[in-house]
Structure 1
Amino acid sequence: MRKLEMDELNRLSVDQFKQSEKVPVVVVLDNIRSMHNVGSVFRTCDAFLLRAVYLCGYTPQPPHRDIHKTALGATETVTWKYFPTTLEAVEKLKQEGYSTWAIEQVENSVPLNRFSYNRESPLAVVFGNEVEGVDATVVKACEGSIEIPQLGMKHSLNISVAAGIVLWELVRDRKNLF
């Protein structure tokens, strides 16, 4: 087994990335504290060619050294917007025809492995604060909530880990992915 060289990975240039058709998924970050988590989410959105990241409330915004440390350039490729409140972002997405779902543990949440949606329709997923989760008013404004099934004692994941799991599940069976 041989590790692939960088030129063998068929990576897109920044211009090619920006011109590519995106997966119609927007990630909404609800008052995330950690710049490292924000950078990691940008990097994951780049990896899966997602449409955009919406940064809300006190979620840090690029440019910042600590975001760039984990984003590794993804803030230059992934489209992002800032909203003063997450509720404003969710309402705008709904007006634009997005189905909006919180990633949260609530009554009647849908386990991620059972979540289904029209993969051609636009979808927005809201990830919450590292301690408080998705704000309750935002959860109520969403169409529903998706929960990552967990077996251990903690029943919580770092937001960047949760984003990686959820976003992979949302894009994994798209045609021509691999």
Structure 2
Amino acid sequence: MDTLQRRSIVVIAHNLRSVHNVGSLLRTGEVFAIDSVHVTGFTPYPAHPGDERDPKLRDRQTRQMAKAAAGAERTMPFERHPDVFALLDALGHKGYTVAGLEIDPEAVTLTGYTPPSKVALLLGDEVSGITPELRERCDVLLRIPTYGRKEALNVSVAAGIALHSLREGGASG
């Protein structure tokens, strides 16, 4: 089994607002064979056994998410967590490096980063990104180099770029 197959990647989607972004993230995660998506805060998520949300809300969110997920809402493993900080601690104890994807002066360029064997990619909300408190809890902050006038991408697009880089990173060296 090669490095691409051995690297364990999980995504933490914290306070994402858009069901379409979550659907796209599930589909992208499936494409890059990540282990799971962890949803925290007010991030919407697909229906699951034992789901205690209002049935109308649950069904509406799942239906909307399915449009972008193209079936991945049924196949991509996900877990809902009430406390993002407890999740970060648990992943750290399991040996994951928590990598926040953020535009930040302290961030390492994604293209120059060689990921370890276990990576948890933290994504923040579409408006303000990862909070300062969560940035402090990351082992590393990563940024996507940009070349145009805009420096921010849609969160699901940014996640796709990051997941590709994390899956491929260090594979040849």
| Alignment length (residue pairs) | 153
Matched, 1:117 2:115: yes
Match for residue 23 of structure 2 among 22, 39, 48? 39
- Separation (CA, whole Å) in 1 of partners of 2:83 and 2:21: 19
Q: Which has the higher contact order (CA 8 A, sep 6+)?
A: 2
Q: Is the 8 A contact 1:30 1:129 kept in 2?
A: yes
TM-score, structure 2 as length reference: 0.83
The one-letter code sitting in structure 1 at the alignment partner of 2:137 is A
Q: Is the 8 A contact 2:13 2:43 kept in 1?
A: yes
- Separation (CA, whole Å) in 2 of partners of 1:103 and 1:47: 19
Match for residue 90 of structure 1 among 88, 91, 97? 88
- Separation (CA, whole Å) in 2 of partners of 1:53 and 1:162: 15
Distance 1:130 1:139, change over 3 A: same
Match for residue 130 of structure 2 among 120, 128, 134? 134
- Uncovered stretches (5+) of structure 2, i.e. residues with no partner: 48-61
**CA displacement, residues 5-30 of structure 1 (integer Å, 9 cap, x when unaligned):** xxxxxxxxxxxxxxxx7751001101
Moved over 4 A (4+): none
Match for residue 140 of structure 2 among 137, 144, 154? 144
Q: Is the 8 A contact 1:90 1:138 kept in 2?
A: no
Q: Is the 8 A contact 1:87 1:137 kept in 2?
A: no
- Uncovered stretches (5+) of structure 1, i.e. residues with no partner: 1-20
Match for residue 60 of structure 1 among 44, 47, 62? 44
Quote how far apart the aligned CAs of 1:174 are.
7.8
Cα RMSD (Å) of the superposition? 1.6
Quote how far apart the aligned CAs of 1:67 are.
1.0
Quote how far apart the aligned CAs of 1:117 are.
2.3
